Structure formats: structure tokens, C-alpha cells
């Protein structure tokens, strides 16, 4: 077993990561004195993994949109009953979420940590599913989808991704559509569970006042069997340049229109540090240009073009990266012009170095807060680990970035050909 430890003197924290014989990686950050204990299971299976080759067969399988999310729902059914109930009987609260690239399950508790951990680990072992269960779950998921259809923010967010991406499955709604979900059957779920919930495709993040040796021994016992096969290989996706649509709109009964201005970025392969560097430099850039202390934000807040709903955020993964700038505004067209104008001037003149320095100092202070509690620590470990970077490398990378590295992101990231504006209005 390969165990590595990283320590941050400044944070006063250290964590270890151990690769178990089954292939599962165990991340542990002790938090002495806290009553709460947290375990998070991260499965590398998200909505973008709609085509993959299973280990050994080499055959490409395709599954309907919303499959990862559907599977997340069904994994809670265990041979001992509903996992929600099992957790609660132990006093643990639990939940799960599906994103573009990952599915996450977690519980928090103060007592009975190990019995709860056993339930969580069981999610990777097997899935109990038949057609009747699938049909019942469909009714629930369709209600969930209908709920999202009433949310202007969710509609705007998925709308702009569909406007940006021509073929990449990040354009698909994470929970699928009423139509795609109805195509999912028990065999689809079994196939995906076997393919993606393989220990070598799963990470476990634990934090709390726990003994590492005891934890390790428990996980080894509860998760000892070396499972055959291996993880599935997702089919990589290429994305052609140019947005699928320059403008798009959806009509909903909203008192004030909302605009979602997106940019997609196309790029070559990046390693973990490269990914983190790109994420940090883009965040600093976006904050300098559009953050709460920027000239753009302040000027347009004062005239009432935007309110505090204005936000600009970047999402960068190994295979896709995009920015979405969104706001409620009475004049979406004017706001769009203002945002694109700000980007055009930054492309010409750059961003003042003192603004970048302030953004950097802010980010540094905020990073500390990630380690405030067992919950935030476990999720922070996961956030960085899923990017393939060391969680404590943050500061070193932040310090190593030259202003030019950040300025270069303006040209690399903001390509007007890769821009789409999506408006939700009545």
C-alpha cells in the first residue's frame, strides 16, 4: 500500500492518502476536538460520461442522458434496506449529488462512525435493482426534473451550456430529460454500476477526530475483496470551435429578465498542476474584472444595470472549461454589450496589476476557511483531488504565478467566437 502524507505548517493541518489493494484511495485529514465526523465517497461518474468502454471488452456503450443521476438515486437501495434509513438509525445524516464529472455520497455523524462508513462503502460493492424499482424511481425523478424546469437559474445555466457546446455532453442536463430518463432500464444501471463504481474509480475522503490506523484497518476489512475487472474508460470528447448559438432565449414567467453570458475554452491536455494553475489564474482574472470591488461591478451597480445577483464564475475540468457571467437585469442586451466591451478592453489593455494583487490576497485568506471544519475539510480535499492536484499546493501555485500568467488568460480564455448569451425573460 502506498501512503503519502502532506503537511502545511501554515494551516497547521496534515492529511494522508493511501492507495488500498482494491484500488480505492483513502484520504484522511484529522480534526481533533470536533464532535462531527464526515466521510465522502467520490465516484468518477458524471453526466458527461455518456459513452465508455467497459474494462476488457473494448466495446463502446452509450447510455441515455441522466443515467449517472438515476444511478445515484438507486444506489441508496441496499440489501439491508434504504440507506437513508440505515444512516439515520445511526444518527448520521446523509446526502448525494451528481455533477458533470462526478457523483458524491456523504454522511456526517457524531457517533457510530464505522457502522455508517460500512454502509457508505457498500455503495461501491453492489446494486440492487429491478425493473419495478426503476419504474417507481422514474416517477420521482420526473418530479425532480419538473421542479428544475420551474427554476429560471437552472434553465439559464443549462441553456447557456447548450448554446456554447455543439457536441460535448457537458451540454446535457445533469438529471436528463423526461424523455431520456424514460429510456433508462435496470440493465443500464447495472452496467454503469459495474463500470464506474469500481474501487479504482472511487475515492474516500474522511475527516474528524479519528485514529488513522483504526480507520485504515476498518476500510481494509470492509473493503478487502479485490474486485475483478477494472474501471471503464470514458470515450473522450472533442469539441469543435465556435459556439452552437450566439444568442438563445427561453420564455418563463419571471418578473425580471436574467442573462447568462458564457465562454467556452478549447485546449490541449493538462496535468493536475496545470489544471489548478488555470483555475486559479482564471479566478483571479475574473474577480479583478467583474468581482465586487471591480470598476465594472461598482459602476453598473450604481446605475442599477445589475444588482447583487451578478456573478462571474469559471469551471475548469480536464476536458472542458467555461465561464458563465450572469445577472438579473432589466436590460439584458445592454448588460451583454457592457460585459463584452469590458472583455474587449481587457484584451487590448490588460488588467491593472494592483487589482490582480488584491484579488490574490483575497483568495489566499479565503483558502484558509476551507479547513474550518471536518465537513469543509473533506469536501476541500475532494475538490483538489478531483482536479488531480495536491490540496495544499494551492498557496505555492498561487505564489508562483506571475502577473503575465494571469494576463495571458484574457486572450486564451475569452474568444468571442466561443461566446453565447442566453436570456430568460417573460
Partner 1 sequence: MAVGPAAGDSTSFEHIGLGGGVNLHLRRTGRFKSVLVEAVISEDLSDEASMTALLPAVLRRGTAAFADLQEIARHLDNLYGASFSADVMKVGERLMPYFRIDFPTPALAGADGDLLGDCVDFLAEVMFRPRLEGGVFLKEFVEGEKTNLVSQIKGLVTDQDHYTAQKCIEMMCRGERFAQYEYGTVEDAEAITPESLHAYYSRLLETRPVDVYVVGDVDPESLSRLMRKSFPERKYSPVPLRETEFIAAPSYEKTFYEEMQIEQARLAIGFRTGVRYNDPALPALLFFNGIFGGFAFSKLFKTVREKEGLAYFAGSQIERSKGIMLATTGIDASSFGRVMDLVRGILDSMRAGEVSREEMDSARARLMSRFNSISDSQTAVINMHLEGMVNGSFMEIGELLESIGKVSAEDVAGVARGVRLDTAYLLRPARKAGGGGGAA
Q: Judge contact between 50 and 60, C-beta under 8 A.
A: no
Catalytic residue among 44, 50, 72, 375: 72
Q: Quick one: which of 78, 182, 200, 313 contacts partner 1 (CB under 8 A)?
A: 182
Cell numbers 461518474 correspond to what residue? 45
Closest to partner 1 by CB, 53 or 112: 112
Q: Is 139 exposed, middle or buried (0-12, 13-18, 19+ CB in 10 A)?
A: exposed
Complex with partner 1: residue 156 or 163, whichever CB lies closer = 156
The answer to whether 358 contacts partner 1 (rule: CB under 8 A) is yes
Please identify which residue in 186, 301, 311, 397 interacts with partner 1, judged by CB under 8 A.
301
Residues 243-282 that bind partner 1 (CB under 8 A): 252-256
Shortest Å distance, C-beta 412 to partner 1: 25
349 tagged catalytic: no
Q: Which residue has the cell 467566437?
A: 417
Check residue 305 for interaction with partner 1 (CB under 8 A). Answer: no
CA proximity to 102, closest of 312, 318, 288: 318
Closest approach, Cβ 252 to partner 1, in A, equals 7
- Among residues 192, 184, 94, 194, the alpha carbon closest in space to that of 137 is found at 184
Q: How far is CA 209 from CA 20, 34, 37, 73, 214, in A?
A: 22, 6, 7, 30, 12
Q: For residues 124 and 313, what is the distance between their CA atoms, to the nearest angstrom?
A: 33
Number of residues assigned to the chain? 426
- Enumerate residues 128-157 that contact partner 1 by CB under 8 A: 136-137, 139-144, 146-147, 149-152
Segment near partner 1 (CB under 8 A); pick from 319-327, 336-344, 356-364, 413-421: 356-364
Beta carbons within 10 angstroms of residue 167's beta carbon: 11
Give the CA count within 13 Å in the CB-facing half-sphere of 374.
Answer: 23
Count of residues interacting with partner 1 (CB under 8 A) = 71
Min dist. Cβ of residue 151 to partner 1 (A): 8
Does 105 engage in binding with partner 1 (CB under 8 A)? Answer: no
| Whole-angstrom distance, CA of residue 73 vs CA of residue 98 | 10
Tell me which of 302, 399, 402, 404 binds partner 1, using CB under 8 A: 302
Number of neighbouring beta carbons within 10 Å of residue 60: 11
5, 57, 80, 110: which one binds partner 1 (CB under 8 A): 110
Residues numbered 184-213 forming contacts with partner 1, rule: CB under 8 A: none
Widest CA span in the chain: 63
Which one, of 129, 164, 142, lies nearest residue 416 by Cα?
164
Interface residue with partner 1, options 271, 364, 400, 416 (CB under 8 A): 364
When the beta carbons of 263 and 297 are compared against partner 1, the nearer one is 297
Q: Which is nearer to partner 1, 234 or 332 (CB)?
A: 332
Quote the CA–CA distance of 335 and 188 in Å, as a whole number: 44
CB closer to partner 1, 190 vs 362: 362
Instruction: Check residue 373 for interaction with partner 1 (CB under 8 A).
Output: yes
Helix (H, G, I), strand (E, B) or coil at 116: helix
Q: Closest approach of Cβ 421 to partner 1, in Å?
A: 20
How far apart are CB 34 and partner 1 at their closest, in Å?
Answer: 5
Residue by residue, DSSP assigns 366-386 as HHHHTTSSHHHHHHHHHHHHH
Number of other CB atoms surrounding residue 79 within 10 Å = 8
- In angstroms, the CA 192 to CA 55 distance is 12
Q: Give the interface segment with partner 1, choosing from 30-38, 274-282, 316-324, 415-423 (CB under 8 A).
A: 30-38
Q: Kindly tell me which of 141 and 420 has the beta carbon lying closer to partner 1.
A: 141
Per-residue x/- mask for partner 1, residues 306 to 335, rule CB under 8 A? -xx-------------------x-------
Contact between 368 and partner 1 (CB under 8 A)? yes
By CB under 8 A, which span of 96-104, 214-222, 304-312, 382-390 interacts with partner 1?
A: 304-312
Residue 60 or 357 having the CB closest to partner 1:
357
| Beta carbon nearer to partner 1, 137 or 265 | 137
Contact 182, 138 (CB under 8 A): yes
Q: Which residues are catalytic?
A: 72
Amino acid at each position: 500500500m502506498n501512503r503519502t502524507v502532506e503537511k502545511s505548517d501554515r494551516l497547521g493541518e496534515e492529511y494522508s492518502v493511501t492507495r488500498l489493494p482494491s484500488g480505492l484511495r483513502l484520504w484522511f485529514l484529522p480534526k481533533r476536538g470536533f464532535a462531527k465526523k464526515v466521510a465522502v465517497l467520490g465516484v468518477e461518474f458524471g453526466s458527461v460520461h455518456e459513452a465508455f468502454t467497459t474494462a476488457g471488452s473494448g466495446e463502446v456503450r452509450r447510455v441515455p442522458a441522466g443515467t449517472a443521476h438515476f444511478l445515484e438515486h438507486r444506489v441508496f437501495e441496499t440489501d439491508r434496506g434504504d440507506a437513508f434509513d440505515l444512516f439515520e438509525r445511526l444518527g448520521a445524516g446523509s446526502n448525494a449529488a451528481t455533477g458533470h464529472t462526478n457523483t458524491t455520497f456523504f454522511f456526517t455523524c457524531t457517533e457510530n462512525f464505522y457502522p455508517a462508513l460500512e454502509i457508505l462503502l457498500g455503495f461501491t460493492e453492489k446494486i440492487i435493482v429491478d425493473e419495478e424499482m426503476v419504474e417507481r424511481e422514474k416517477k420521482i425523478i420526473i418530479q425532480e426534473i419538473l421542479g428544475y424546469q420551474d427554476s429560471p437559474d437552472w434553465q439559464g445555466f443549462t441553456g447557456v451550456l447548450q448554446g456554447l457546446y455543439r457536441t460535448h455532453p457537458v451540454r446535457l442536463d445533469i438529471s436528463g430529460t423526461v424523455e431520456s430518463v424514460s429510456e433508462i432500464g435496470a440493465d443500464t444501471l447495472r452496467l454503469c454500476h459495474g463500470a464506474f463504481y469500481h474501487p479504482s474509480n472511487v475515492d474516500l475522503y474522511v475527516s474528524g477526530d479519528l485514529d488513522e490506523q483504526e480507520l485504515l484497518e476498518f476500510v481494509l476489512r470492509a473493503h478487502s475483496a479485490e474486485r475483478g475487472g477494472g474501471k471503464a474508460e470514458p470515450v473522450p470528447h472533442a469539441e469543435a470551435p465556435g459556439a452552437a448559438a450566439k444568442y438563445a432565449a427561453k420564455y418563463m414567467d419571471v418578473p425580471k429578465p436574467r442573462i447568462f453570458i458564457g465562454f467556452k475554452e478549447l485546449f490541449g491536455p493538462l496535468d493536475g498542476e496545470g489544471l489548478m494553475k488555470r483555475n486559479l489564474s482564471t479566478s483571479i482574472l475574473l474577480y479583478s474584472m467583474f468581482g465586487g470591488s471591480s470598476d465594472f461591478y461598482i459602476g453598473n451597480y450604481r446605475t442599477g444595470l445589475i444588482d447583487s445577483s451578478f456573478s462571474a464564475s469559471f469551471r475548469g475540468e480536464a476536458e472542458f472549461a467555461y465561464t458563465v457571467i450572469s445577472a438579473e437585469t432589466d436590460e439584458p442586451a445592454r448588460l451583454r454589450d457592457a460585459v463584452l466591451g469590458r472583455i474587449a478592453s481587457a484584451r487590448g489593455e490588460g488588467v491593472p496589476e494592483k487589482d490582480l494583487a488584491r484579488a490574490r490576497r483575497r483568495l489566499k485568506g479565503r483558502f484558509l476557511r476551507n479547513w474550518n471544519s471536518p465537513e469543509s475539510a473533506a469536501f476541500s480535499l475532494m475538490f483538489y483531488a478531483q482536479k488531480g492536484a495536491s490540496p495544499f499546493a494551492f498557496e505555492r501555485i498561487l505564489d508562483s504565478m506571475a502577473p503575465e500568467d494571469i494576463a495571458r488568460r484574457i486572450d486564451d480564455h475569452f474568444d468571442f467566437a466561443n461566446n453565447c448569451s442566453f436570456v430568460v425573460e417573460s
